[in-house]
A and B are shown apart, each in its own frame.
Chain A
Amino acid sequence: MAKKTYDLLFKLLLIGDSGVGKTCVLFRFSDDAFNTTFISTIGIDFKIKTVELQGKKIKLQIWDTAGQERFHTITTSYYRGAMGIMLVYDITNGKSFENISKWLRNIDEHANEDVERMLLGNKCDMDDKRVVPKGKGEQIAREHGIRFFETSAKANINIEKAFLTLAEDILRKTPVKEPNSENLDISSGGGVTGWKSKCC
């Protein structure tokens, strides 16, 4: 009689060069807040957030990784088990964009084969300092067949959309056992089964 739960847990990972705003992207999504002081992430952090997609409650466990180069060999070991990876660059930092192909190779080498990838060009609120045109981001995303968003954690642009899209893409290829009809029947007593159409 006990109802089955259809709770899903998706593990997501944020990677990209140091200082592109991975932690801020996560903080905006999980706490809907923004902090201007930069504290380099030295290690692996994570937060959870529950979302509802297609009537299913999904718990997102989002891992934020250290971007500094010297930690790369260690951080790649966290790729395994991630169902979605957000690769972030900074549109005002050309180097962070150039490194995208290196990060993509890292994913190929260390992540699950069927991991869902997404490219984010962060800090899109700082258009005056832009050095990476949107088209370049779109192009590399197209080449690798992955989704692309320009985001701003500071101005809250596309952050939630990016996470929900990634989660949806994962959900789409997650085999979910549909609840059977018994579970849908909310009134085990039979419920309302008829109506009177005509009176004497």
Chain B
Amino acid sequence: MDQSVAVQETLAEGEYCIIAVQGMLCEGDSRQSRLLGLVRHRLEHGGQEYALFLYTHRRMAITGDDVSLDQIVPVSRDFSLEEVSPDGELYILGSDVTVQLDTSELSLVFQLPFGSHTRMFLQEVARACPGFDPATQNPEFQWLSPYRCTELEPELRESQTQRRWNSAAGGSNFDDSRPNGKGLLGDQGSWGQDKPENVFTRQNKSKSDFTNMVRSSTITVSDKAHILSMQKFGLRDTIVKSHLIQKEEDYTYIQNFRFFVGTYNVNGQSPKECLQPWLSDGIQAPDVYCVGFQELDLSKEAFFFHDTPKEEEWFKAVTDALHPDAKYAKVKLIRLVGIMLLLYVKQEHAAYITEVEAETVGTGIMGRMGNKGGVAIRFRFHNTSICVVNSHLAAHTEEYERRNQDYRDICSRMQFCQIDSSLPPLTINKHDVILWLGDLNYRIEELDVEKVKKLIEEKAFQTLYAYDQLKSQVAAKAVFEGFTEGQLTFQPTYKYDTGSDDWDTSEKCRAPAWCDRVLWKGKNITQLSYQSHMALKTSDHKPVSSVFDIGVRVVNEELYRKTLEEIVRSLDKMENANIPSVSLSKREFCFQNVKYMHLQVESFTIHNGQVPCQFEFINKPDEESYCKQWLNANPSRGFLLPDSYIEIELELFVNKTTATKLNSGEDKIEDILVLHLERGKDYFLSVSGNYLPSCFGSPIHTLCYMREPILDLPLETVRELTLMPVQTEDDGSQLEKPMEIPKELWMMVDYLYRNAVQQEDLFQQPGLRSEFEHIRDCLDTGMIDNLSANNHSVAEALLLFLESLPEPVICYSTYHNCLECSGNYTASKQVISTLPTFHKNVFNYLMAFLQELLKNSAKNHLDENILASIFGSLLLRSPAGHQKLEMAEKKKAQEFIHQFLCNSP
């Protein structure tokens, strides 16, 4: 057992393998067996250094010839070997220990067997670590150099050996007899090419021709049953699957199949007799054969090398003795040392056997070795999951607790991986049908040998059964809970003198016992027979057989398809019902007679359906916002719980930015809003209406050509005049002579001149919103006589008018010129003279009015500075827009106006 012996044989004198453990080197999905030896070297001047020697190995290492040095990892200061929990796996009691080996050069992950030996190994490694005490010298590991390639140049050695330690080198050709090459790291030229895994493949190939013939024969698993395990669609698939399981009874029916279950402890013998008396005599051809053996091979080689010729011998013997009335397909053979299980089905059933998995659990020495334990094959037969277990439990009459423990270990450690690796592994108990056979080794207690034999002679099996350990342990619920066993109507199957029907006459003179048993668990199982077969005399056990009728769920393809379709349809329906959906109280919005700066609001309600939803008005293609500039939805996005509602207000407001294009007909009160539901539908909302043109937002020259109030003009005329270019001078082409300044401007100024020259805080107090609308209407309809408003309101209207001019009084193109000559009154006057006529007129008119106001400054408290700052930013507007206006520019604009206020024209 102690593999450190093999390691020791590879070491030089003075080096000592403290402990060795066999583990699996994990690299991605690959697993390779490695022998890990902790090696100590005593230094001449005292002290010691350690290294971890990693070997590939042949089978279980017994001598140095079985191992080949792969890597050396010096236990240096940066060395660490720590237990880690494997990614995404739940820790399972009794599972392998995963450890990570880290140094500054490499990082390796190993799986070490569960148990005290691994613990000891990890403790020893921990003890070997040099620690971080600065007082101790750094290990130099000079002693490792003989293990490395000696032919290298000294200066190259450092880097080369580093590399070599990290590479999977190996003298891998085990067939070569290497006279003294034990453990020397790779022969020159061979390392790195022939990797150890090749060796293992080679070994795997070494099956006899017989097996190869069987395995390569033409029958393969058809995919017919694949529909039962569709792996697609992720979550949706999982739902479909669970629905299919729930509705299983709708599309399956129970059909009985005959199962033959046999167990035979062959005591290390080779088959000498035909097995037909056991396997096929006197029965109808079964549909399924589950045949188990124990003690197939008792030799050390089988134990250590896990390889035995007996496997083929017995496989062939069984195959030859299967029922002659049917053709059988081998499904699986699984063996752990001497415990072997074979599964055959009738050829015509092969297509319905799916999801075959086989596993072994050793419960022997160290809780792992395979001299005791169990093997199992799980599969799906039609729609029923079946697990067959063959176990050989601990021996000796008094060891029944040990047997119970072996049973529990097999149950907990036997894990089958599932096709869908996201699912946890299957255990024995997760199957519809469990068939458990084997040499369970429970004995007859409290009776002396003679008494037992006497009862057997009398065929008083019922009396004898009362003393059966398995019976009492099951009754005490210590083992095989939930399992059933048929009545024992045959004499104990152990222990006979080989080749006879005589009870054991050896020195030990074992008491007879029902060691070999068959138990089952699950629904729709009927035992038809349970018997031993005295005719077979090869072993000191007699074989046992049991025939069952087992009800298996068989799929009716047509019903299955129907059920599946129904499920898919219901899922689609569910998914469709889960598409967010709302209802809108209104989808068409009409805004009548929209006026300048007059807010109109239309509201509607979004009622949500049954799915929480997130709504948002989204942009239409090639548009920068979800609606026109004069419109706003409030709120424009939000979240709705099921069955809740929200009111959305559509606010329509035309301001100076949008008015001109509405006057010109370039824009209309028309829009379509797209209300989008996240993951759901889109709703279109139509907005329509009409705009009443206003002098606000109309260009100066346009207004000059309008002798009539703007609302008295046909829309077409307003549009034409609005679109007329600003530079059009009076070329006589117009039918009517234009006015010098817009009449609306004159109306407001005249009103102020008449009523407000002495008004305190003029242009500094806000007007009334309602009065603005009145003023606007008076201007646009020409009802100037009706105008009666607060002076401040009219003053504000005048400012708003100037602000709404699409082209300011000082045209954009003249703006920079004005700023440049600000401070030079003559030059400034010169610039003004270049303005288009109507603009020039307006400018002069306003300056004259402002100067008139200044004459009354004693009353109205206005001065040049106040007026310059108010009108500066209205008359001179930067073509770049307000945002970019710097303080200096503002100042210059004020200064420019200031000059005209101080000087008479």
Contacts and interface: CB of A to CB of B under 8 A. Distances in A.
Interface string A171-195: 0000000000001101111111111
Interface string B315-333: 0000111111001111110
A183 B350 CA distance: 19
A200 B280 CA distance: 11
Given A5-B233, A194-B217, A189 B321 contact: no
A193 B357 contact: no
B327 A6 contact: no
Contacts of A191: 220-221, 331, 353-354, 356
Contacts of A70: 672, 686
Interface string B121-135: 000000000000000
Contacts of A48: 572, 575-576, 579
B329 A187 contact: no
Contacts of B587: 42
A159 interface: no
B575 A192 contact: no
- Please report whether the interface of chain B is mostly helix, strand, loop or mixed according to DSSP: mixed
A49 B572 contact: yes
Interface in B212-227: 213-217, 219-221, 223, 225-226
Nearest to A71: B684
A49 B358 CA distance: 40
B100 interface: no
Given A191-B221, A191-B331, A199-B322, A43 B682 contact: yes
B135 to A, nearest CB: 51
B417 A188 contact: yes
Contact of B674 (A2, A45, A74, A192): A74
Given A186-B223, A187-B221, A2 B421 contact: yes
Contacts of B620: 73-74, 77
A193 B621 CA distance: 61
A193 B214 contact: yes
B29 to A, nearest CB: 8
B234 A200 contact: no
Contacts of B332: 189-190
A46 interface: yes
A187 B320 CA distance: 26
A95 interface: no
Contacts, number: 150
A199 B215 contact: no
A3 B419 contact: yes
Contacts of A194: 213-217, 219, 329-330
Given A47-B579, A77-B621, A186 B329 contact: no
B422 interface: yes
A161 to B, nearest CB: 17
B322 A195 contact: no
Contacts of A3: 231-232, 419-420
Contacts of A43: 674-675, 681-684
B281 interface: no
Nearest to B578: A48
A44 B323 contact: no
Nearest to B224: A186
Interface of B: 213-217, 219-221, 223, 225-226, 229, 231-234, 237, 274, 276, 280, 319-324, 327-332, 344-345, 347, 350, 353-358, 377, 379, 417, 419-422, 568, 571-573, 575-576, 579, 587, 620-621, 672, 674-675, 681-684, 686
Given A7-B234, A187-B221, A200-B324, 5 more contacts: A42-B684, A45-B681, A48-B572, A187-B379, A195-B217
A-B complex: 9 closest residue pairs judged by Cβ atoms: A194-B214, A195-B329, A3-B231, A191-B221, A1-B421, A199-B324, A189-B356, A77-B621, A44-B682
